[in-house]
Homo-oligomer: A and B are copies of this chain.
Amino acid sequence: MAMTASRKPVGVFDSGIGGLTVVKALMRELPGESIVYFGDTARVPYGTKSRSTIVKFSMENVEFLLRFGVKCIVIACNTSSSWALPTLRRYFKVPIIGVIRPGARAAVQQTLTKRVGVVGTEATVRSRAYEMEIKRLDRSITVVSQSCPLFVPLVESGWLNGAISAQIAATYLQPLIRQRIDTLILGCTHYPLLSPVIQQAVGPEVKLVDSATQTAAEVKGLLAWSEWLSTSRAHPRHRFFVTDEPDHFTDVGRRFLGQAVRSVERVNHR
């Protein structure tokens, strides 16, 4: 079992393009692993949709990745991790790792004042997933959450700086500043691209936490513990599948992955 699994790829899915930030971290932490990425670009975003739709789409995404015999699945999408992870774990035997627990753990380690902020999509914030996970780790921590529905379109538009982005960030983050947080979880894969304006809005004392690095470390731990780490000397193979045409994914993806996105194929979900 261990020998076979080590050769299998790691599966990653996301509602769209943002999960490439997690792929970037995985490539850095686990340079020998092959990755199969699935981005549901035809139905993106998930963050404005309801629990049942998020769960349904996530189930379909896992089923797609299982066709590639993946040894584990990483849910790069915060919204999907927030709402679908428990259901997915009940339905599927493959180990599934979400981004909520790693992000929550990083924040718990970072905070000194025990006041943590969370920003995310409407669905992620509504789920209270980060809050519950943080409280589970340390009940004495106060968590303040804020949904930021304009952040994703800002990033997708490439408006990463400038007065408008700064003002929107200030508007969203004002309530968290008033709550004197010292740590802020960027609870959406798009948000790290807005780090400069977010950091400016909350001030230099507040530490920003994004889940990607921590999640990659957790995947590494899982694979090492299970003796599923790749032992192959061949170059790993990375494949990307999307449900809409690949052009936009390839263009904008570079910004998230930090390098050109190669081998992108379109698939039909039905």
Q: Cα distance A163–B170 when bound, in Å?
A: 13
A224 within 8 A of B: no
A53 & B167 in contact (Cβ 8 Å cutoff):
no
Q: How large is the interface on A (under 10, 10 to 19, 20 to 34, 35 or more residues)?
A: 20 to 34
Residues of B within 8 A of A43 (CB): 42-43
Which of B152, B154, B248, B270 has a CB less than 8 Å from the CB of A50? Answer: B248
Which of B49, B51, B57, B164 has a CB less than 8 Å from the CB of A164? Answer: B164
B168 & A164 in contact (Cβ 8 Å cutoff):
yes
Q: Cα distance A164–B148 when bound, in Å?
A: 14
Which of B50, B157, B164, B247 has a CB less than 8 Å from the CB of A245? Answer: B50
Residues of B within 8 A of A150 (CB): 150, 153-154, 157, 159
* Contact A42 to B48, CB < 8 A, known contacts A154-B150, A163-B167, A164-B168: no
A52 within 8 A of B: yes
CB A264 to nearest CB in B, in angstroms, measures 13
A156 & B245 in contact (Cβ 8 Å cutoff):
no
A232 within 8 A of B: no
CB A87 to nearest CB in B, in angstroms, measures 16
Residues of B within 8 A of A156 (CB): 48, 149
CB nearest to A159 among chain B residues: B150
Residues of B within 8 A of A171 (CB): 164
A218 within 8 A of B: no
A133 within 8 A of B: no
Q: Cα distance A42–B167 when bound, in Å?
A: 30
